[in-house]
Structure 1
Amino acid sequence: MKFLPIDNVMPEVKAALSSQGNAVVVAPPGSGKTTRIPLALFSEPWLKGQRILMLEPRRLAARAAARYMAGSLGEEVGQTVGYRIRLDTCVGADTRIEVITEGVLTRMLQTDQALEGVGLIIFDEFHERSLHADIGLTLALEVQAILREELRLLVMSATLEAEPVASILGHCPVICGSGQSFSVETHYLDRKLTVSAETAVAQTVFRALNYTDGDVLVFLPGAAEIRGVHAELLAGGIEKYAQVALLFGNLPPSAQDAALLPSLLGKRKVVLATAIAETSLTVEGVTTVIDSGLMRVPAYSSRTGLTRLETVRVTRAAADQRRGRAGRIRPGVCYRLWTRQEDAYLVPNNTPEILAADLTPLALELAAWGVINPSELLWLDSPPAAAFTQARSLLVKIGALESDGAITVHGRQMAETGLNPRLAHMVLKATEIGFGALSCELAAILSERDFFRGSAAALDVDLRFRVETIRNFKNHIGVTDAAGRRIKTESNRLKQNFNINAAPQDDIEACGLVLAFAYPDRIGQLRGCGKFLLESGRGAMIAESQALAQSQYIVTADLDDQGTDSRIFLAAPVQLEQIKQYFDLQIVNKTQVAWDTSCQAVRARTYECLGALVLKETPCNNPNESDIAEALLKGIALEGLEILPWSKAARQFQQRLLFAYFQENKWPDVSDENLLAALNDWLGPHIYGITSRVELGKINLLTALEGLLTWSERQELDRYAPPYIMVPSGQRITIDYSTPESPILAVRLQEVFGLKETPCIALGKVPLTLHLLSPAHRTVQVTRDLSSFWDNTYFEVKKDLKGRYPKHYWPDDPTTAVPTNRTRPKP
């Protein structure tokens, strides 16, 4: 074997694992750590013939690494070196090194917690921090601590912050290796892009072919962008200059492998790749990298429970990894399609998936492991509590967990399938009712990105159309043979695993029902105009032009997380009868007694509810009286106190109390705001049997308000804030307390003749504001000092009044005159 830079630190790696048990290796891309370290370790004495498991984040990288190591030994894959990935396993009885994808380790641990026969687990490219990698490391540490002290763990990466990892590995050694890399000349844009990223990439490819030699590796965020750039390159006549190869996860293995090999007949090659080519893989012959500066990452919203892919700016670590691909064999060139100013704002690293992902798979794996609270385990980053709680709630809803978090028999069956928990539940439940084959097809379709995405057919969101297309994909131009074969293969594998016979062809209308088992929280009820209310309470919508927009009930499998109403991408109709039959345990009857503003009355209804959905509504004939009273009080609070039958006496009593409270706060505050806030206390005892605004007229509000005071307090109030004053004429004049700080006594001037001082209330402390009235009850003077009025103002007022009312009695000395409520005093 040729010398590789990682060989320089191989003695340290061996010594660390031999003596310490765990180690962290940090070495740049191209150093050889992925393919050289496993081969150097599998013959170590401490392994004693046991196997090495090496985790890779991607299937392509796992296959490529296994093939390279097997070739280094002069063997075929499946002998000393093999691999296990989804849908493809190549290992034999003599296999000592198994390269596996990260999810495979979790399955192996759940099957055999002690991992008998495994002596070393290598976590390669750990900086990507996938959810499965974090779960695998945490569970492996648990195995090492409790069951297998001799199990070794090795974490490897090119850009990892090593110290936190070394800390949870027992403060193990960190070994830093050098890389075999050449200088890379890096070019930036002078200004921000003014054309689409695809156009800019295509233009840069032709520029690179003119000004550089060697092969070109282009990084794009996803398959759609790759196809867009490919189309532009073909339109520009790329075949004259170079062979174009595509490299992304959903391509057939043969196409992926072809992209990694040198171009044919010495022709230059342009490889259009996703982030799959950042690490682990070596694309032969590359000397130029073109980086779009974009990557696609999953983003989970705990608010909606949805995960969607977001296109975001590349991280600093990823950008450096990509640039390093140009300097593997000789000095290279990197074209970055962003400015130097933008470069300064790149974030350092990816957010660990455990902090931003749907944690339903994690919650199920931990429950199957026997752990209810994730804090019992050792994590590099602990699962966020809100997302974990939401995941647990979903698992309880679908019967995978008990309410206390313990796994059920059904949950354990789900965990054993290796499917996403939603899809596992769907297949198991659908199989019970005879739709197992259809559920396997749906699981295979939903496990991949929509194969119509980006095409005109994608506008039709009906999932039934996808199922029919896959069943007949050879006759449908919208589906490539690769996509059709891949989904068919996965569907057949699932059918085989679940012992399901060939699918009947008349079950297509059950798509919605089967889908509802996976997404019970996304059963939707039509609100009109293509808008739906989901069981979770979230809004969703379909374009009105689509047939599904008129369905009374649907189930959605894919929707975004934008705005009030999420846009639906995949859905199928479901019948109300199916919902009631198969989700009866989740349907609850709720009696609602509430104030109906439209009819100004309390209405009692019984609802059949599935989450936020009302499946049926009927009148309730015998509502609880206390519920009626509560609803009536809420209605009064909503409508305001003016809905009540206020009499003058009731309103004056309220105002008298407010005056007393204004003077001394020992009295209750009976302002409208406080009365509304305390309706149950003072009005509650008087409303039983009343259900409408009309019937509120039966209430005596004065009696209700008086109930706020004891009998002795009412007597005291009469003395402190009397309802009326007896004036010299012998009349009882009501006091106006509408202005608490200054109560008013409006009285005709002639009725207070002989009264020398202003009347006072509040036990003589507060003089009334006198509104002295003409015989026609018009105010002629306002005063709080009657004595001063008689002395200084009366005579001017008298002149005016005598002229207007000559028949009335206007004495010269009002303080000794006889008061009267007539035109003149009786003789």
Structure 2
Amino acid sequence: MQHSPAPTRPVAPVLLGVTHAPTPGLARLALWTVWVHHEDAGFTPEGVRFIRRVMDRLPIDDALPELISSLSAQGRAVLQAPPGAGKTTRVPLAMLDARLTDGRILMLEPRRLAARAAAERMAETLGQPVGQQVGYRIRGEAKVGRDTRIEVVTEGILTRMIQSDPELSGIGAVIFDEFHERSLNADLGLALCLEIAGALRDDLILLAMSATLDAAPVAELMSAPVISSQGRSFPVETRHLPRPLDRRARLEHAVAEQVLVALRETTGGVLVFLPGEGEIRRVEAALSGQLPKGCVLRPLFGAMPFADQRAAIRPDTSCRKIVLATAIAETSLTIEDVRVVIDAGRARRARFDPGSGMSRLVTERVTRAEATQRAGRAGRVAEGVAYRMWTRGEEGALSAFPPAEIDTADLTGLALELALWGAEAAEMPFLTQPNPGALAEAQALLRMLGALDESGRITDHGKALAALPLHPRLGHMLVRAGRGAALLAALLADRDPLRGAPVDLALRLEALRDPKAYAKHRPWPADRGAVSRIRTEAKRLERSAKGDGQLSPAAMAALAYPDRVGLRRSGEAPRYVLSGGKGAVMGDADPLAGQRLIVVTDTDGNPREARIRQAIALSEAELRSLFPDRIAWVNVCEWSRRERRVVARQQERFGALALDDRLWKDAPSEAVARAMLEGIRELGFAFSDKAQLFRARVALARADGASLPDMSDDALMARLEDWLLPYITGVKSAADWKRFEPLDALRAMLSWEEMQALDRAVPAHFTTPLGRAIPIDYSGEAPEISLRLQEMFGQTTHPTVAGQALRVTLLSPAGRPVQTTMDLPGFWATSYADVRKDMRGRYPRHPWPEDPTEADPTLRAKPRGQ
């Protein structure tokens, strides 16, 4: 529709009587009537923009007055508005119109597509091209000018801006859009901005906008009010699977079948949520030739060309559009003609991957919050339908919310940024504090790379790494190796372009350097999208590098992974010990399996023995050339679990790798003894009867109040060095330890005075009426002695020790138990008569007096014939 320009005619008279319509809907209807029937009205550009805004009124508009008032009064706010409310494109323009600040308004978006789309939408609203009042800045691309007042950036850009200019000169406001996604960069950016606002810029306006986040904790952190806006959506019917998906079935085939079902049962555009590009391509292939006429497939993921992304987002009345999208379509973007959603039930998130030593995207079950948000996309323009690729019963097992990235991701980049900022994590206003253990591991890696000094302060090299758009491992490689490392850095930062191929990184580099030549003579197909993306990123990284190093790819990889240099263990199986101390294994048939030294760049992350997914062969000469200061001879005296003995060797080591290994013939006895202590900790105690008796006496005396050392197993194990070390000279193996008598070492724990007190309180022996010393057994519930019945003649009181009655086992002349008693006078008075009657006939030569209390103790028998 064409309109005659008449720039001198104002819009206000035309709108007279319309702006006071009883409802917003009637106001929009009236404006539409004016727009259609007054082509020659000659509105000014400002009038046209005003009409467009009112015609396209969104739910967020009702909350804007309160939001602007709060920002004007307090300079901070938290805006809670569901997807579709219009916060992304309305709020920055409202802040600009209100003239809240003379500086630029910076808005953070978690994804590049969202940043560009938001900037384009706002610029279109102003009737301008992107780059004038509204611009954007993302990795590798910027459209801003000197007149730009609103700048949309991806989250990592803000960190770089702050680190280079801590006052954020020229920036008047920072908006954190989609803060509920809790990305690591957003958490760090907010913490840094709160620091700046508190110390340097009390005029800096801060606004966090969220769709699903519990706003109260963010508001408390920011000391800001919460402003809420209602969403706009139509009813959405949710349909679950009747039964769980077969575990053996390919998700992509199931999704393709569901798309065909949805096309038969519904009308309108279809939005399919899949975890990543690979799944999108496979669903696209499965649907090839299966779609009804008039249907078109539109992939949508972050790494695709922006023109293709735009085609997926824009409405298309000429066909029925099926958009195959990643989580990029959950928030920030509005795909206006969608009435059907198919949720595959998977999400891809950044988690620390111990296999690669960096954060990697992993596929997990979708959360309930994500599923709700996805389903809501079907109700933006009319009533819709959401198909969920799981049963209603499976819904209860879903987590409520996705985890904050700071809880799951690699913290090496965060640790580097904090060191550059000069602050400890605990001092920063994080919504979630990073895990101290994970942060300590990240700092240890940075020290290994030379980015931090031993005191934890950032080095000049660390500052150079922080300026690069790479994980510090790969940044270190790029700085040290120069432009030649750009391709390898881009490869290692991306997903494997040769899935299913042997582990050798050299194959991947070959496919990247000359894809056509590679395709002609290699049987493993390369992912064209990944190859193109990696090559493009490599060209960009080349511009960040300096110098043209002459290192081989293996040497470059070793720079990035000094803790992943692998030395093949002895034996037939290709098992490796890594320089960081972990183990890794390679497939027997892999062409790289015979290499003595490799650099492992990716594994499956198994904590016991990881399976190698990517590696490259390294020569020992290259290793020695790269790390001359880290290779040194060391004397090693340690307990070998495998050999069950102390092993003393002299080794030339790089980390945990023994490049050369020789017998240490004259190892000091103390070093051997200390190593043996580790063996004892593994083997445990095997006390002799004498040692057990001594420990039992000490335990009884302690129970009776004596101040003596604790000789329980746990206490002795905890103090091995104190009591045992001086006594195990010559003990070198499990067999030696089994023969070792520890009684002297235990007795040495007591002073002379303590030994005397122990002997008095808990004697080792009972002295019989004949003066013989009988060992007391303290291993049972009560101390016990065993002796011949005749030796106790004349004993009229029951013997005791440490205040307890002795359990006395009386033996026959043949040494067999006759009676066990803890009341000897009672035994003499009662049971003895029966014992005497029985024993006299069996042992007639031995005395059996009628009154044993009056008889003399004896061990003698009567002479024969008497």
Normalised to the residue count of structure 1, the TM-score between the two structures is: 0.81
Partner of 2:537: 490
Cα distance between partner residues in 1 of 2:742 and 2:336 = 94
Cα shift at 1:294: 2.1
Specify every segment of 5 or more residues in structure 2 that has no aligned partner in the other structure, as ranges. Answer: 1-48, 520-524
SS in structure 2 at match of 1:469: helix
How is 1:570-719 mapped onto 2 (pairs within 5 angstroms)?
570-586=614-630, 591-594=635-638, 603-631=647-675, 688=729, 705=747, 708=750, 710=752, 717=759
Partner of 2:430: 379
Partner of 1:198: 252
User: CA separation of 1:554/1:156 partners in 2, compared to 1, >3 Å: closer, same or farther?
Assistant: same
Cα shift at 1:443: 1.2
Cα shift at 1:321: 2.8
How is 1:544-559 mapped onto 2 (pairs within 5 angstroms)?
544-559=588-603
SS in structure 1 at match of 2:78: strand
User: CA separation of 1:696/1:759 partners in 2, compared to 1, >3 Å: closer, same or farther?
Assistant: farther
1:13, 1:175 within 8 Å by CA — same for their partners in 2? no
1:770, 1:782 within 8 Å by CA — same for their partners in 2? yes
SS in structure 1 at match of 2:467: helix
Partner of 1:516: 558
Cα shift at 1:391: 1.9
SS in structure 2 at match of 1:735: strand
State the one-letter code of the partner of 1:63.
R
Which of 81, 89, 92 in structure 2 is aligned with 1:27?
A: 81
Cα distance between partner residues in 1 of 2:331 and 2:442 = 31
User: CA separation of 1:819/1:363 partners in 2, compared to 1, >3 Å: closer, same or farther?
Assistant: closer
SS in structure 1 at match of 2:348: strand
Which of 512, 515, 522 in structure 2 is aligned with 1:470?
A: 512
Which of 795, 802, 813 in structure 2 is aligned with 1:773?
A: 813
User: CA separation of 1:703/1:83 partners in 2, compared to 1, >3 Å: closer, same or farther?
Assistant: closer
User: CA separation of 1:340/1:617 partners in 2, compared to 1, >3 Å: closer, same or farther?
Assistant: same
Cα shift at 1:219: 1.0
Which of 481, 486, 509 in structure 2 is aligned with 1:440?
A: 486
2:272 paired with 1:226: no
Cα distance between partner residues in 1 of 2:85 and 2:349 = 27
After the TM superposition, which of the residue ranges 756-765 and 596-605 deviates more from structure 2? Answer: 756-765
2:425, 2:434 within 8 Å by CA — same for their partners in 1? yes
After the TM superposition, which of the residue ranges 411-420 and 197-206 deviates more from structure 2? Answer: 197-206
Cα distance between partner residues in 1 of 2:397 and 2:762 = 74
2:326 paired with 1:326: no
Partner of 1:103: 156
Cα shift at 1:449: 1.9
How is 1:220-259 mapped onto 2 (pairs within 5 angstroms)?
220-234=274-288, 237-238=290-291, 240-259=293-312
Cα distance between partner residues in 1 of 2:765 and 2:621 = 67
SS in structure 1 at match of 2:288: helix
Partner of 1:452: 498
Cα shift at 1:229: 1.5
Cα shift at 1:795: 7.1
Cα distance between partner residues in 2 of 1:12 and 1:27 = 13
State the one-letter code of the partner of 2:154.
T
Cα shift at 1:292: 1.8
Cα distance between partner residues in 2 of 1:671 and 1:45 = 78
State the one-letter code of the partner of 1:131.
L
Cα distance between partner residues in 2 of 1:574 and 1:710 = 63
How is 1:754-765 mapped onto 2 (pairs within 5 angstroms)?
none
2:510, 2:518 within 8 Å by CA — same for their partners in 1? no
2:212 paired with 1:159: yes
Cα shift at 1:233: 0.9
Cα shift at 1:581: 4.3
Cα shift at 1:557: 2.5
2:459 paired with 1:419: no
SS in structure 2 at match of 1:221: coil
**What is the CA deviation profile of residues 433-486 of structure 1, one whole-angstrom value per residue up to 9, with x for unaligned ones?**
xxx234211111122222234xxxx34222221111101123344335543332
User: CA separation of 1:697/1:42 partners in 2, compared to 1, >3 Å: closer, same or farther?
Assistant: closer
1:686, 1:704 within 8 Å by CA — same for their partners in 2? no
Which of 542, 546, 550 in structure 2 is aligned with 1:499?
A: 546
SS in structure 2 at match of 1:30: coil
2:314 paired with 1:268: no
Cα shift at 1:408: 1.3
Cα shift at 1:582: 3.2
Give the total of aligned pairs.
790
Partner of 2:451: 400
Which of 256, 266, 273 in structure 2 is aligned with 1:212?
A: 266
State the one-letter code of the partner of 1:17.
L
SS in structure 2 at match of 1:136: helix
State the one-letter code of the partner of 2:774.
I
How is 1:266-305 mapped onto 2 (pairs within 5 angstroms)?
266-300=318-352
After the TM superposition, which of the residue ranges 72-81 and 779-788 deviates more from structure 2? Answer: 779-788
Cα shift at 1:378: 2.0
User: CA separation of 1:257/1:23 partners in 2, compared to 1, >3 Å: closer, same or farther?
Assistant: same
Cα distance between partner residues in 2 of 1:110 and 1:721 = 75
2:355, 2:603 within 8 Å by CA — same for their partners in 1? no
Which of 108, 123, 140 in structure 2 is aligned with 1:70?
A: 123
2:365 paired with 1:313: yes
Cα distance between partner residues in 1 of 2:394 and 2:376 = 20
Cα distance between partner residues in 1 of 2:684 and 2:78 = 70
User: CA separation of 1:579/1:799 partners in 2, compared to 1, >3 Å: closer, same or farther?
Assistant: same
User: CA separation of 1:607/1:762 partners in 2, compared to 1, >3 Å: closer, same or farther?
Assistant: farther
2:766, 2:776 within 8 Å by CA — same for their partners in 1? no
Cα shift at 1:492: 1.9
Cα distance between partner residues in 2 of 1:706 and 1:80 = 86
SS in structure 1 at match of 2:342: strand
Normalised to the residue count of structure 2, the TM-score between the two structures is: 0.78
Cα distance between partner residues in 2 of 1:671 and 1:102 = 60
1:656, 1:737 within 8 Å by CA — same for their partners in 2? no
Cα shift at 1:274: 0.6
Cα shift at 1:414: 0.8
1:593, 1:628 within 8 Å by CA — same for their partners in 2? yes
Which of 774, 777, 795 in structure 2 is aligned with 1:735?
A: 774
Cα distance between partner residues in 2 of 1:655 and 1:21 = 72
Cα shift at 1:368: 1.0
Cα distance between partner residues in 1 of 2:712 and 2:72 = 81
Partner of 1:128: 181
2:67, 2:227 within 8 Å by CA — same for their partners in 1? no
Cα shift at 1:383: 2.4
1:735, 1:746 within 8 Å by CA — same for their partners in 2? no
Cα distance between partner residues in 1 of 2:258 and 2:667 = 74
Cα shift at 1:617: 3.5
2:113 paired with 1:60: yes
Partner of 2:37: none
Cα distance between partner residues in 1 of 2:387 and 2:746 = 82
User: CA separation of 1:736/1:296 partners in 2, compared to 1, >3 Å: closer, same or farther?
Assistant: same
How is 1:338-353 mapped onto 2 (pairs within 5 angstroms)?
338-343=390-395, 346-353=398-405
Cα distance between partner residues in 1 of 2:300 and 2:479 = 35
Partner of 1:805: none
User: CA separation of 1:661/1:64 partners in 2, compared to 1, >3 Å: closer, same or farther?
Assistant: closer
Cα shift at 1:397: 2.4
2:173, 2:205 within 8 Å by CA — same for their partners in 1? yes
